[in-house]
Amino acid sequence: MRLLFLGDMVGKTGRTAVWDRLPGLISDLKLDFVIVNGENAAGGFGITEEIYLETINAGADVVTTGNHVWDQKDAVAFAGRHDQFLRPANYPAGTPGRGSGLFYARNGARVLVANIMGRVFMHPELDDPFKSGEAILAACPLKEQADAIVFDFHAEATSEKQCFGHFVDGRASLVVGTHTHVPTADHQILNGGTAYMSDAGMCGDYDSSLGMDKEEPLNRFISKMPKGRFEAASGPATICGVGVEISDSTGLAEKIAPLRLGPRLTETIPDFWR
């Protein structure tokens, strides 16, 4: 199975780049399943129902989020209406929406996708992500109820992301980090067969500070005083993510490689899909 995960869409330039390129990627690379993190798609803060639907219409099978999931006021209302929209699973019981779900890929495979948020340097501090991950795996084990399992681990600390990867190694197909908006160079297959990458990067303007117009963040570092609001950068976007080839027999990863398309960063498409 060929699975593509795209990192956090940031602002209009990021989301429109994904919408424009994703249909072609699905066709050209013969993708079976696509996951997109959309938590910064609305002006850099949260996601609206309209943006969510446009992302699904472009070909995403699931849209994940993170700590900005509720930044847009209508998110609480629409979260429960759409099964393909995920908020972090370790929110307290009774939180609107869902944190994981079982979906069908284009090749008929059953794909469990879970969105979990880390706790180190993160706000709000949610329930234990390791306990949450364990409960999700116990309810839907790999090669029993699911043919593939993917965790979007939305976190700040690389150590927490790495430890979660090792925690589920051999029990999940892919653990990919989001939130820090910078693609890491540590894509690998762990000892037990789980593909791992600390951060997929963002889909947005890299002539920026994490996808935001760089002037206000720079001002705050220098002067310690705000002059205005953070605004999403509006220059040409680079799409960043990770591609994984998953064994149909074991549900574990066979190949992993980054995907980067656009200006600023060196373009790359997983060689095994060319």
Tell me whether residue 150 is exposed, middle or buried, using C-beta atoms within 10 angstroms of its C-beta: 0 to 12, 13 to 18, 19 or more. buried
DSSP conformation class of 201: -
Find the length of the chain: 274
Q: Is 154 an annotated catalytic residue?
A: no
Which helix (H) or strand (E) covers residue 261, if one does?
Answer: strand 253-261
Rounded to 5°, the CA angle 205-206-209 comes to 100
What CA–CA distance (Å, rounded) separates 49 from 9? 15
Torsion of CA 183, 272, 26, 175, to 10 degrees: -40
Strand partners, 44: none
Q: Given 68, 154, 179, 187, which residue is catalytic?
A: 68
Using DSSP bridges, classify how beta strands 195-197 and 2-6 pair: parallel, antiparallel or unpaired: unpaired
Instruction: Give the residue numbers marked as catalytic.
Output: 68
